[in-house]
A and B are shown apart, each in its own frame.
Chain A
Amino acid sequence: MRYDQPELGPRLAADYVLGLMPDRARRRFERVIGRNATLAATVAGWSERLGPLDAATEDIAPPAYVWRAIERRIGAGARVAATRPRANLRYFWRAFAMSAIAASTAIAIYIALNPTPLPTTVEALAEKIGLPGWMEAARRAPVDVGLSTMRFGISERERPRWIRAALLLTGDAQPLTVPAPH
């Protein structure tokens, strides 16, 4: 199948995210998106658009024996407890519930309160709020932050905020080469 046909790629990506692919086709498609960045970005776009439906779905605590069964199956040598809630990990899930707006605001506020943020702390924050790697990518290639927001599936609307946050982070006040959001 030719995944790079202009019409076919987006349709397959949408099918994949909607859950309409038969399982064999889906596994084949997953191998393709592993090496096709354009298609992977299309999939990420659909996940971002429809993901709020999952984020809004009610949390229901699974019974404890589910974790015990998982533990047995992965062959836990030493028993590990997954019963005690850990405050710091609340961010982890909240990351998903929070919109990109909240996420970027969190970073912007964090940066505002900490004028010279320790890079590792900002990175950890980006990871906690669900965009691991983005800060690193933005820092590595500050002129490329516009593109990197696209790669990370940050919506066009949100892009200027993220670009500002990245510029604050990198200390580059002149966004001369940042592509303007369309």
Chain B
Amino acid sequence: MRRTALGDKSAFADLYQATSAKLFGIALRISGRREIAEEVLQEAFVAIWGRAKDYDPVRGSVMTWLVTIVRHCAIDQLRHQQSRPEGHSAPEEVLTSFIATGRTDISAELRALQRCLDELDPQPRRAVLLAYLYGLTRDEIAARLKVPVGTVKSSLWRSLERLQRCLGS
């Protein structure tokens, strides 16, 4: 990362090689369409190249920083489109699939997070997942859950507070 910040293109190529499959998976999860996810990944890595010197290790891992950039690029793309992706499955199914794939590298953090998400009521849990997994706005979440926007606002915050307490940090 330091070398990328100094303009080292082979370091940047290594960074891409090491992280692009994960980041493309995330871009695809949010945008729901391959061609858009490809565009998102391109925009994100051009931004990463331009902003590499802004990366501050004190504020978190490189991967977290990269994921943040990709998520925001994907969300920006979504907001600029009129049509919403169709293919999003129910967010709870996505969550279950993470756990159920029989992978041994499922982190203790993911298990803890799922346990705490399970303690939320179904609707607020779904609101949190729709926002995080798919980048939906409050208005879109309200429409999808058929509740007023104000309800989404307050229930999202209450759910997050409960999550925070449950995760014990």
Contacts and interface: CB of A to CB of B under 8 A. Distances in A.
A11 B128 contact: no
Given A50-B132, A62-B21, A80-B9, A67 B109 contact: no
A81 B10 CA distance: 8
A121 to B, nearest CB: 16
- A17, A53, A63, A97 — which one has the most chain B CB atoms within 10 A of its CB? A53
B169 A93 contact: no
Given A19-B131, A53-B133, A152 B60 contact: yes
B63 to A, nearest CB: 4
A152 B56 CA distance: 11
B22 A59 contact: yes
A111 interface: no
Given A18-B156, A19-B132, A82-B14, A56 B164 contact: no
Nearest to A62: B24
A133 interface: yes
Contacts of A62: 20-21, 24, 37-38, 41
A74 B106 contact: no
B89 interface: no
B143 interface: no
A18 B128 contact: yes
A121 B13 CA distance: 23
Contact of B109 (A23, A58, A76, A100): A100
B72 A26 contact: yes
Interface string B60-88: 11111001100110011001000000000
A40 B59 contact: yes
A136 to B, nearest CB: 9
A125 interface: no
Interface residues of B, number: 66
B60 A53 contact: no
A157 B109 CA distance: 11
B105 interface: yes
A65 to B, nearest CB: 8
B67 A54 contact: yes
B137 to A, nearest CB: 7
B60 to A, nearest CB: 5
Contact of B64 (A51, A60, A77): A51
Given A19-B75, A19-B135, A67 B108 contact: no
A14 B42 contact: no
B21 A61 contact: yes
A130 B169 contact: no
Interface string B13-57: 111111111101110110000000110011001100100000001
A97 B84 CA distance: 29
A17 B168 CA distance: 18
12 contacts: A19-B72, A20-B138, A43-B59, A47-B67, A54-B26, A55-B110, A57-B29, A77-B9, A93-B21, A98-B105, A137-B58, A156-B169
In the A-B complex, the 7 residue pairs with the smallest Cβ-Cβ separation, listed nearest first, are A133-B57, A96-B63, A130-B61, A99-B107, A56-B98, A52-B110, A59-B21
Given A19-B132, A55-B109, 14 more contacts: A20-B131, A48-B60, A50-B132, A53-B133, A54-B22, A61-B21, A70-B45, A80-B9, A96-B64, A96-B67, A98-B107, A99-B108, A100-B109, A155-B109
